[in-house]
Structure 1
């Protein structure tokens, strides 16, 4: 089958590889759509921390925001899965440790991460093998575009839940990329007054096109009381800025990751009596994201600017937007396309 393979920083191509075989408890999925995210870009550039920690190595097959159809079953898998449209959890815990048994497989010390950690092949390929326990069935109202937005949506929904927003609360989202905009969409659906802070004029104009009026740069951010500040950026300075901006007694949520360490003064955290929440993984938010997409309560499809085939993946990772792409921040790959 065809698969996209990164062999070194800046070096990648579509290769012929052996198709996956469903082992016991696994299924094979024909992949229909894959989202490309910042983690994938970091593997392409060589900046991904897992590469430096020895937790991942080249060659690597990336892709963890995916949807497709189950076409083969391994031993012990219920036949009802055959032909089902699905997406799946990125985090594959060992299933037997203390964390996994308490429903925290996404922070299992021994976990694999699809297309990221432990050499588990990713979804930027014609087919993908994954454990059946990681699957989520998709209703007909969740099409392929939405299916590939479930994983980032789960992260965003968890961030909103972590903010503990009440209707009428004022929330500030730092970062107007895919995760920041998804957070804004979920927070608005829950009745919050949503503000976004970003940098580029293109991203801010696009946020306004989605109906958000409170869109700012750091320079013109109004002096307002924010009941929650959610950092969805990759700027090392913004975690501390989030703490400065949030109201005493309220919440800051950290879902973005910077390439260098961020410094937060815990004296400020304590003296303002602020609750800080860290978010890793979409796992506990996947079902909620699917339900909100299925009902139409949140529709993030406009965020997808273009869809290319496997052969167009390298250009996307190199920072080049496809000709004719829209203004949205998200780019998708359909492995069925030439």
Structure 2
């Protein structure tokens, strides 16, 4: 499929690809030149041989993880951990959506309803990651979830958890990091020094600090779940004795694949609205400044580009 891109988001992975810090660049999974962009939406304008023509004209987003389709993991429905997978705009093989058009295999497209506007459409991929985190925590309504990190994923986790009835607490690095979540109605926002001493029925680590994974494990209730999605540049470590003696389940989240449909549904019905997380929408020319660290003003964590505005 060829898709005319309406909107594309820039995330931490894209920034690390630009700076050279991304781990895939050091393992050889990614090499320059590359075109980033894996949070996107657009309209199908051309289909390949054997593809249903009814896709033409439909608004879509797509899965970042493109499996080989025939290995054991793909056959079991776990294509996002296929050893030979492409990651659109991240690993070598498929250029990303930070362009006027992007080519995506038809099997990995997800249709968008009319109620999902371009901003929401480009937030489906991070939303799918966040939804997977919430589902992995296995909370019941009214139980407490501690979210470490107030970036895009941390705040999306908080939104999906709140929509599911959880009591959400967030920890940021300082008071400045807590201003946006408080403006979004999260009144249980803390720093590590001010957090209350409460039992946490689940913890999601969406931070990038190497010291946070053991902090998360230390705070979760025995017999419950800690979910890791944040990645630090330097290696982090947990004491597996704590994991075993507390009977804690640790879950790692890679990719939004299994959460994309749920994110689309939540955005379409209005139970989750991530649009306040987008600080600005810029042109493709202006996105270079964002990669260089010159962000638009405002406290929201996400920046989008509209390729159509550069024409």
Same fold, TM-score > 0.5, yes or no: yes
Determine if contact 1:197/1:218 at 8 Å carries over to the other structure.
yes
Query: Within 5 Å, which residues of 2 pair with 1:217-256?
Result: 217-256=191-230
Provide the residue aligned with 1:285 in structure 2: 259
Alpha-carbon separation, structure 2, partners of 1:160 and 1:240 = 19
Provide the residue aligned with 1:264 in structure 2: 238
Provide the residue aligned with 1:124 in structure 2: 98
Q: Give 3-state SS (helix, strand or coil) of 2:92's partner.
A: coil
Alpha-carbon separation, structure 1, partners of 2:293 and 2:178 = 19
TM superposition shift of 1:203: 2.3
Q: 1:334 aligns with which of 299, 306, 310?
A: 306
Provide the residue aligned with 1:14 in structure 2: none
Alpha-carbon separation, structure 2, partners of 1:56 and 1:229 = 31
Alignment partner of 1:316 is 2:286: no
Q: 1:97 aligns with which of 59, 66, 71?
A: 71
* Cα-Cα RMSD: 0.8
Q: 2:49 aligns with which of 58, 72, 75?
A: 75
Alpha-carbon separation, structure 2, partners of 1:223 and 1:200 = 18
Alpha-carbon separation, structure 2, partners of 1:35 and 1:272 = 39
Q: 2:59 aligns with which of 81, 85, 88?
A: 85
Alignment partner of 1:138 is 2:112: yes
TM superposition shift of 1:120: 1.3
Q: Deviations over 1:45-99 (max 9, x none)?
A: 1001111111111111000000000000110100110000000000000000000
Aligned length: 310
Q: Give 3-state SS (helix, strand or coil) of 2:309's partner.
A: coil
Provide the residue aligned with 2:87 in structure 1: 113
Q: Give 3-state SS (helix, strand or coil) of 2:74's partner.
A: helix
Query: Within 5 Å, which residues of 2 pair with 1:26-105?
Result: 27-105=1-79
Alpha-carbon separation, structure 2, partners of 1:199 and 1:317 = 23
Provide the residue aligned with 1:4 in structure 2: none
Give the TM-score, by structure 2 length. Answer: 0.98
Unaligned runs of 5+ in 1: 1-26
Flag as ranges the 4+ runs of structure 1 deviating above 4 A. Answer: none
Give the TM-score, by structure 1 length. Answer: 0.91
Q: Give 3-state SS (helix, strand or coil) of 1:248's partner.
A: strand
